[in-house]
Chains A and B, each alone.
Chain A
Amino acid sequence: GAVVSQHPSWVICKSGTSVKIECRSLDFQATTMFWYRQFPKQSLMLMATSNEGSKATYEQGVEKDKFLINHASLTLSTLTVTSAHPEDSSFYICSASPVTNYGYTFGSGTRLTVV
């Protein structure tokens, strides 16, 4: 149980375009999901907390207008990287948990490359 699916697993886009990444909880409902960013050989940095039916909560230093988060249902959160630039190239990972302290399940990640 507690499966999180993330799509796409990798994407290449041109500078200036937008990319949408989906995160789905397959066998549980998640009122809260989390989006992380991971640079090569580095740890995960929390970008934002996605809240179902309300605005996302962004961590300090994360541009909310560049990284748009929508959590329209209890099983789906999306992260849209708008007007992407090469410095946005990274590994993006989402996570969710059916209940607090269960242990968060992570998606398989999305490798974004902006050229």
Chain B
Amino acid sequence: GDSVTQMEGPVTLSEEAFLTINCTYTATGYPSLFWYVQYPGEGLQLLLKATKADDKGSNKGFEATYRKETTSFHLEKGSVQVSDSAVYFCALSEGGGSSNTGKLIFGQGTTLQVKP
């Protein structure tokens, strides 16, 4: 079945450092890919998404490119802030195109800690 694998955390960075959180996936169809962020005690917020190969999703300085050839969707940010400290989830939508089931399959989450 479809699956998502993220790099294990926690990732600890100093403020203004460059961030990369790796995400790879396996899927039988053509899924859409998502990054969600979860702050302590809260639900998930959509950070960015990409619906087809070579699409780049971006939001709040974060970006990720849908790489079909490497089945990856790595999250990057050029300069992190303390306020970016949270748990980040990579996810894919099961199925693709007309086969989309609407279900999201999540990676295990990566905790980011940014220190001043």
Q: Which residues of A contact B (CB under 8 A)?
A: 6, 32, 34, 41-44, 46, 49, 93, 95, 97, 100-101, 103-109, 111
Closest to B107 in A: A43
Given known contacts A44-B106, A49-B102, A104 and B46 CB-to-CB distance under 8 angstroms = yes
Closest to B93 in A: A101
- The contact sample of 23 A-B pairs, CB cut-off 8 A, is A6-B43, A41-B109, A41-B111, A43-B89, A43-B107, A44-B89, A44-B104, A44-B106, A49-B103, A95-B44, A95-B104, A100-B93, A101-B100, A103-B49, A104-B34, A104-B46, A104-B104, A106-B43, A106-B45, A107-B43, A108-B42, A108-B43, A111-B41
Interface flag for B32 (CB, 8 Å): yes
Other A-B pairs beyond A43-B107, A44-B44, A93-B44, 19, CB < 8 Å: A6-B43, A34-B102, A34-B104, A41-B109, A41-B111, A43-B109, A44-B106, A46-B103, A49-B101, A49-B102, A49-B103, A93-B43, A101-B49, A103-B34, A106-B36, A106-B44, A108-B42, A108-B43, A109-B43
* Interface check B108, CB cutoff 8 A: yes
CB neighbours (8 Å) of A104 from chain B are 34, 46, 104
Nearest CB of B to A17, in Å: 24
How many A-B pairs fall under 8 Å by CB? Answer: 56
CA distance A111 to B42 in the complex (A): 10
Interface membership of B51, Cβ < 8 A:
yes
B-side interface residues, number (CB < 8 Å):
24
Convert B87-116 into 0s and 1s, putting 1 for each residue whose CB lies closer than 8 angstroms to a CB of A: 001000100000011111111110100000
The CB with the most chain A CB atoms within 10 A, among B36, B51, B104, B109, is that of B104
Shortest B49–chain A CB gap in Å is 5
